[in-house]
Amino acid sequence: MKKLKINKNLKDNLITYGIIIIAYVIMQIMIKTGHVSSLMQGLLVPLCVYIILAVSLNLTVGILGELSLGHAGFMCVGAFTGAFFSKCMQDIITIDILRFVIAILIGAISAGIIGLLIGMPVLRLKGDYLAIVTLAFGEIIKNIINVLYIGKDSRGLHFSMKDSLSLGLDAEGTVIINGAQGITGTPKNSTFTIGVILIIITLFIVLNLIHSRDGRAIMSIRDNLIAAESIGINITKYKLMAFSISASLAGIAGVLYSHNLSSLMATPKNFGYNMSIMILVFVVLGGIGNIRGSIISAVILTLLPEVLRGLSNYRMLIYSIVLIVMMLFNWSPKLINLREKYSLKRLFKKPKEVQ
């Protein structure tokens, strides 16, 4: 019986990895045979970014049970630190993949540290209050980056919060982060393959964390804080752990995102409130706490607007109808019953087992 349970988790996880790998292989074959439009190919890396974001936010929302609306802010930290590193090191580390891996690590670590620093005061709050404060911090990160100027010359790095002139660079110095204009000329290292590898790493971290001692502690805090305290679980430590791991995974997504663009700017569209809400929509529609669901809903909701592009004006109408249908499909009690009645599992089972 005990063995059975571990195997069940393992089987569940393997199915999730399997879906990703099969989807990747199918996609690669379709690209090779020329069945994928260039528009669609351009969407593949953002798709990976969104999946990583959805999975990582599910760690905060679904597993820790705290509503965070600042996820795009952590992504922003990862994107800019990663891109900054790559830009600085472009001439020093010439092996693309090595530089990119280091950039990912730097992005993850810096987003994790910011997550930890923000988490310390913020995680004392609960529910709506936490959501509002994380929302504010997300915006603060974006706005700080918008006024940040960093330049490099022979004397080293220069920082300013005013404008690029006040950096006082040498004649041959270059401005790396140029305030609202962001970073331009980041090496385009992100590929679909790297994106998928990062998805699998993210899944590996999140799924293994959930099914470990720490994951149990995190989920026990979600289910009943007072009881968790009474059995000696350190609330602050595990809340911070979940929050900062979630932030650093968002940082990874940010690095992947920034290395897919030639010019990276912190606009409300990519790192603002809308982005955070969109990630939350992926998580909620896929099922809170359901990692595989997050992946599926991220894929559907990212591809849908593009697939429907031909319908021009009706595009957003259909998008919203799909949102509502998915919501009903996942949460309405009637439909849940119906789903169980006609589920594939049941159809494939032998009649004897059904009864």
Partner 1 sequence: MAALLEVKNLGISFGGLRAVDDFQVSINKGQLYGLIGPNGAGKTTVFNLLTGVYKPSEGVITLDSHNITGLKTVEINKAGIARTFQNIRLFKELSVIDNVKAGLHNHFKYSTLEGILRMPSYFKTEKAMNERAMELLKVFELDMEADYLAANLPYGKQRKLEIARALATEPKLLLLDEPAAGMNPNETKELMDTIRFVRDNFDMTILLIEHDMKLVSGICEELTVLNFGRILAQGPTGKVLNDPQVITAYLGE
**Which residues are at the interface with partner 1 (CB under 8 A)?**
1-2, 4-6, 204-205, 208-209, 212-217, 219-220, 222-224, 226-235, 241, 289
CA distance 151 to 286: 43
Residue 228: CB minimum distance to partner 1, A: 7
Q: Smallest Cα–Cα separation from 326: which of 265, 281, 275, 260?
A: 281
Q: Smallest Cα–Cα separation from 47: which of 278, 242, 224?
A: 278
The residue (of 163 and 229) whose beta carbon lies closer to partner 1 is 229
Residue 227: CB minimum distance to partner 1, A: 4
Cβ atoms 147, 164 nearer than 8 A: no
Residue 191: CB minimum distance to partner 1, A: 25
What is the DSSP-derived secondary structure letter of residue 233? -
The residue (of 95 and 226) whose beta carbon lies closer to partner 1 is 226
Residue 41: CB minimum distance to partner 1, A: 33
Residue 196: CB minimum distance to partner 1, A: 20
CA distance 92 to 103: 13
Query: Among all chains, which residue has been given the structure tokens 């720490």?
Result: 214
Q: What is the DSSP string of 73-122?
A: HHHHHHHHHHHHHHHHHTTT---HHHHHHHHHHHHHHHHHHHHHHHHHHH
Residue 64: CB minimum distance to partner 1, A: 12
Q: Is 175 helix (H, G, I), strand (E, B) or coil?
A: strand
The residue (of 163 and 340) whose beta carbon lies closer to partner 1 is 340
Query: Among all chains, which residue has been given the structure tokens 């790095």?
Result: 157
CA distance 21 to 197: 9
Cβ atoms 85, 262 nearer than 8 A: no
The residue (of 209 and 265) whose beta carbon lies closer to partner 1 is 209
The residue (of 6 and 157) whose beta carbon lies closer to partner 1 is 6
Distance from the first to the final alpha carbon of the chain = 22
The residue (of 62 and 272) whose beta carbon lies closer to partner 1 is 62
The residue (of 96 and 214) whose beta carbon lies closer to partner 1 is 214
Residue 194: CB minimum distance to partner 1, A: 21
CA atoms within 13 A on the CB side of 311: 11
